[in-house]
Amino acid sequence: MNLRPKTLSEYIGQEKIKKQLEMFIQSAKKRNSPLDHIIVTGPPGLGKTTLASVIANEMEVDIKITSAPVIEKKGDIAGLLTSLKEGDILFIDEIHRLPPAFEEILYPAMEDFKLDIVIGGGSGKKRHSKAITLTLNRFTLIGATTRIGLLSTPLLSRFGIILNMDYYSVEELSEIVKRSAGILGVDIDDDASVYIAQHSRGTPRIANRLLKRVYDYCVSQGYEKIDVDKVRYAFNILSIKQYGIDDMMLKYLHTLIGRFGGGPVGITTLSLAMNEDRRTIEEVIEPYLMKIGFIKRTKSGRVALEEAYKFLEKGLS
């Protein structure tokens, strides 16, 4: 069942971004023009793809969704661009992973709605080819990234709108949980929704995932309403720790503190010790641990803070 909101009025949280978008969308509609190109940045799971779909719904246009890692050749981008109708939206997730040669195709497309392609071929003396320019329908490119610092300056400068998504508050996540419970058709009390929110690491995707698992537990046991005691019991079965710390984060903390004495330790050493991809550590594990004051990044490496030691010492892990 799809729990994603479809309009800005249904979208909970990110109030600053919503107010900006309301203004941009109203202006674009009055001008009968596509939105300016948008870059959305923030940690994983905050709803960047959902926000892009909401924008498309508000603009009453179609959206094509892809991600940079699946774009394997220049022709893939050309095919996407030429398939767009007037005003359509092209959403590229993880756009920071787009190769520089592919970025160059986007420059004239974003600025002038033109696509330069080379046709023809052959080999040896009979080799012949020519460059042609295609006119594209006016469109909006929405790029999503967890690491805006990895975007090249030429590409970043072509986005007129930059939206920075931040972690959600417990209150916002509690509202999201209650909304999702309503869609699932299950009754949930306020204490239970707050408890789930407190363990969701500021992330709607995690909040909805935890709600679904608690819902599974209640259905399996024949319970018709979710209360906080049922959530606690389900979390115990699921090994959900305080603050929403999962097994991957726990492994990180045990490695940093238990093996390396709390640091400082470099990211490469941590990655090898954990047998975990560096990108996963930097983009998924560390942002939340920094947010709750468990670690900090220094020039010398990662360092565990007092709260992390307390967490492990209290046996909360």
* Integer Cα distance of 64 and 141 in angstroms: 10
Q: Locate tokens 């995932």: which residue? A: 209
DSSP string, 304-317: E-HHHHHHHHTT--
Alpha carbons 250 and 270: distance in angstroms, whole number: 13
| Tokens 């949280």 found at | 13
Number of H-type helices and E-type strands within the chain? 14, 11
Q: What are the residue numbers of the active site? A: 48-49, 93, 146, 205
> In the chain, where do the E strands start and end?
38-41, 63-67, 89-93, 114-121, 128-135, 140-145, 161-164, 187-188, 225-226, 295-298, 301-304
